[in-house]
Amino acid sequence: MATSLSGQVVNLLAAFLLLLAFAMLSQRRVLTLIHLFAWQGAALAASTLIVAHSTGQAHLYFSAALTVALKVMLIPWVLHRLIDRLYVRWDVETLINIPTTMLIGIGLAIFAFALAAPISQMASTVTRSTLGIALASILLSFLMMIVRRKAVPQVIGFLAMENGLFFAATSATYGMPLVVELGVALDVLVGTFIFGIFFFHIREQFDSLDIEHMEKLKED
């Protein structure tokens, strides 16, 4: 093994991140979904921290702290309150059954790995091999947004996608400039609040958070 210990730990965390992406894809309960999202944030923060330590990039410490504050604490807490208020703790309905979803997920992961292989050969960062995993978790979150019928899991899928993007940025180029990271973090936070408000509006309008009802809008 040529990679250093920190590289190995980052690889392990990347694998954990991918595992969590699959776990979210296969999860039926909204509450567990939020816990998994928080875990994903924690894995992301840990890997950012290790990359920061091994490369000496000071701004990565800051972005790791930001990740912990936002994605492990604040957003899961907001989502918790949201599902309590909306009273939607129960099972999530999926459009495709879960084994099929997971098989599609494997296909996506292979696609992402194949896509990232030439890019990571050119890159010179310690974390280059994790680019494929980052890409795969973005695609998996995207898949989750597609196969879920209710609004809350879709939003969690969106947030998980942002996690994947963030991880891709860390693994490809040691993170984005701090200003961009701050902007994205703020966007995500504001996005979550706006989604929260939308949830109430959607439910008020249709008595349900099923997105399918939105299709009826155009017929009026």
Partner 1 sequence: MAEMDSLPGIAFQILQSVFVVLAAPLLTGWINQCRAWLQNRSAPSILLPYYTLAKLFHKDAVMARDASPLFRLTPYVLFGCMWLAAGIVPVLATDLPFAPAADIIALVGVFALARVFAALAAMDIGTPFGGLGARREMLIGFLAEPAMLMTLFTAAFISGSTQLTTIVETLAHRDFAIYPSLAFAGVAFLMVLLAENARIPIDNPTTHLELTMVHEAMILEYSARHLALVEWAVAIKLFAYMTIGIALFAPWGIAEGGDWGGLPLAVAALAVKLTLAGAGLALIETLLAKLRLFLAPEFLATAFLLAVLGMLIHFLVSG
Q: Which residues bind partner 1 (CB under 8 A)?
A: 1, 3, 8-9, 11-12, 14-16, 18-19, 22, 26, 98-99, 102-103, 105-106, 109-110, 113, 117, 129-130, 132-133
Contact yes or no for 141/41 (Cβ under 8 A): no
Nearer to partner 1 by C-beta: 3 or 173? Answer: 3
CB 166 → partner 1: shortest distance, Å? 19
CB 117 → partner 1: shortest distance, Å? 8
**Angstrom distances, CA of residue 143 to CA of 103, 122, 131, 132, 192:** 12, 28, 18, 16, 19
Nearest to 36 by CA among 15, 20, 18: 20
CB 211 → partner 1: shortest distance, Å? 24
Q: Cα(209)–Cα(149) distance, rounded to whole angstroms?
A: 8
CB 125 → partner 1: shortest distance, Å? 13
Nearer to partner 1 by C-beta: 113 or 158? Answer: 113
CB 172 → partner 1: shortest distance, Å? 14
Residue 125 tokens, joined: 């960062």
Nearer to partner 1 by C-beta: 106 or 214? Answer: 106
DSSP 73: I
**Angstrom distances, CA of residue 67 to CA of 42, 58, 131, 189:** 8, 15, 19, 11
Nearer to partner 1 by C-beta: 11 or 208? Answer: 11
Nearest to 35 by CA among 72, 86, 69: 72
CB 13 → partner 1: shortest distance, Å? 9
Nearer to partner 1 by C-beta: 34 or 109? Answer: 109
Nearer to partner 1 by C-beta: 8 or 173? Answer: 8
Q: Which helix (H) or strand (E) holds 55?
A: helix 30-55
Q: Cα(104)–Cα(138) distance, rounded to whole angstroms?
A: 14
